[in-house]
Amino acid sequence: MEKSKNKFRQRKTLIKEESSVLRSKMQETLVSVLPVVIIVLILSLTIVPVSAGHLLGFFMGALLIIVGVSFFGMGVDIAMTPLGERLGASITRSRKIWLIIITGLVVGFMVTVSEPDLQVLASQVASVPNSVLVLSVSLGVGVCLMLALLRIVLHISLRKVLLVLYVIVFALAAVVAVRTPDFLAVAFDSGGVTTGPMTVPFIMALGLGVASIRSDSSASEDSFGLLAICSVGPIVSVFILGLIFNPGASDFSSAVITPVQDTVSLSKLFLEYFPDYFAEVAVALAPIFLFFIFFQIISMRLKRQAFLRMLFGFLYTYLGLCLFLTGANVGFSPAAQQMGNLLGKTSFRWLLLPIGMLMGYFLVKVEPAVHVLNKQVEEITAGAISQTAMYQTLSIGMAVAVGLAMVRVLTGISILWFLIPGYLLSLGLTFAVPRIFTAIAFDSGGVASGAMTATFLLPLAIGACEGLGGNVATDAFGVVAMVAMTPLIVVQLSGLRYQLKLKAQVFAEDVVSQGVDDEIVELYEDEDPAKSPVSVLMTFTQGGSDYE
């Protein structure tokens, strides 16, 4: 009797804790979404006459996104992250290279083939059959995930791997630029789109699990970098497809905006799409869920309560993604495309630049995968790199990226004029900044360019391009690629600033220890000094940029 009472109390306590966490996540998401809603409302009431139906749909979409992101975050914490970490630790502990290779290929292919953002991209490239594009991109991610896992196990420099991969990427880009220039932007967009809300949590947790078995000083920083390498696979795959299928400018299509007459037709529209996204997300989660059951039977063997908790975690993830994707695609996308189209036709078209930058600054905080990355960064660095600092850095990067993308929409400048200098600068910075920032930066590029970019910023650019009468294939596509590139630069520049700041602090402490200052101030009195944020970050920066 007493035992059953204790179980009841434990369950009641757990429910209270999860309710508290859910409320906290909803408050955070509300704060992130609210600025975007206010901006759209102000624009619609002043210079951009968005239809009332689409504006109301945007508000309903915002509500679904708030609830969806909150549930998704709960599910990632309870199910996806623990599963990925356990799998990574298990295959590494076996010390069988063939098992790591097979796991990388299978897991990379499995989580990518069902990525919702990839389905959106495939539907917009009409010249290549959807199944061919999806399977090719998924295979590219699988191969690159295999390479990323081997890199961690074999202690191979991330910088060397990235340099080799991007040499291959731009060699292919040079060929594609001559033969099929309309395919350039789509290929680079695919690298960001495929690292979406389904892929990011599982792959990042997998890297953390693989690195956890190692006991050397660089194990923590090597847990990052998987997404950086995985983002290259889709670019190479789509370039190869572009050379095979040779698509033209007319082979790209934008989404058709469904007319909304009143609130009844709006509710019918959402109810019509709900089953589609519930089925789509079920297909997306099914391979991972079945893998979880298989792994539970052969290796994990969780106790009943822990097993049921992970099942609820999958349910949270499922509901969260369904609500998020419905809100983003049905509510946000039509409003964004109509707004861009109307702005492109007015004399205020120059406002696309500041409006786009402002939207980008706030939208990065709504991206589900960004929450996962920032939380892991803060945990791995013991708070030395806080979630707040990461959000600020990525927001600046997103704003710059969308600003450059709108410059392309307004002027028609080739995307290579931005990507080549950008990637050269980001790869050059890898020689100067601490290793941990390089790994985080290249992961951030794939994470920031996720669902919100594909469902709001890309439709905004497509609508503006159509309003201006430009070429959608060459001028509008590429937004995701720009968003994926700028974090590589801004995060590494942030790392450079941290490094200089730490060196100045160490110098000041040396001066104090030599008796210049009679008073010694003890920082972190109540903590182990070795675990303080400054000490942890100093361990990452020791050795400068020596990757060997």
Q: What is the dihedral of CA 416, 115, 253, 232, to 10 degrees?
A: 20
> How confident is the model at residue 7, as a pLDDT?
59
Read off the pLDDT of residues 263-300 as tens digits, 9 standing for 90 and up: 777 788 888 888 888 888 888 788 888 888 888 888 77
> How confident is the model at residue 365, as a pLDDT?
80
Q: Which residues contact 427 (CB under 8 A, 6 or more apart)?
A: 162, 163, 166
Q: What is the Cα–Cα distance from 118 to 95, expressed in whole angstroms?
A: 33
Give the pTM: 0.76
Radius of gyration, CA atoms only, the chain: 24
Q: Where are the domains of the chain?
A: 20-264+271-512+527-541
Give the Å distances, CA to CA, from 457 to 303, 357, 408, 479: 44, 10, 14, 7
What are the φ/ψ torsions at residue 114 (nearest 5 degrees)? -110, 10
Give the Å distances, CA to CA, from 254 to 58, 194, 352, 353, 401: 19, 19, 19, 21, 21
Give the Å distances, CA to CA, from 434 to 225, 264, 494: 14, 56, 10
Q: How far is CA 127 from the centre of its chain?
A: 27
Could you tell me the two tokens for 106? Answer: 């299978």
Concatenated DSSP letters of 312-346:
HHHHHHHHHHHHHHHIIIIIIHHHHHHHHHHHHHS
The three-state DSSP-derived secondary structure of 472-484 is HHHHHCCHHHHHH
Nearest Cα residue to 391 out of 378, 410, 405:
378
Instruction: Tell me which residues of the chain have a pLDDT lower than 50.
Output: 248-251, 253, 518-527, 529-534, 543-548
- What one-character DSSP code corresponds to residue 76? I
Q: Where are the alpha helices (DSSP H) in 412-478?
A: 416-429, 435-448, 451-452, 458-468
> How confident is the model at residue 425, as a pLDDT?
92
Read off the pLDDT of residues 458-468 as tens digits, 9 standing for 90 and up: 888 888 888 88
Nearest Cα residue to 498 out of 529, 531, 544:
544
Kindly tell me the number of DSSP H helices and DSSP E strands found in the chain.
Answer: 24, 0
Task: Let me know: does 103 contact 199? Beta carbons within 8 Å.
Answer: no
Give the Å distances, CA to CA, from 324 to 66, 146, 275, 395: 8, 30, 13, 20
Would you call 47 exposed, middle or buried from its count of C-beta atoms within 10 A (0-12, 13-18, 19+)? Answer: middle
- What one-character DSSP code corresponds to residue 125? B
Q: What is the Cα–Cα distance from 111 to 455, expressed in whole angstroms?
A: 20
Residue recorded with tokens 């990235």? 162
At position 70, the amino acid (one-letter code) is S
Task: Let me know: does 443 contact 376? Beta carbons within 8 Å.
Answer: no
**What DSSP element (H or E) covers 457?**
none
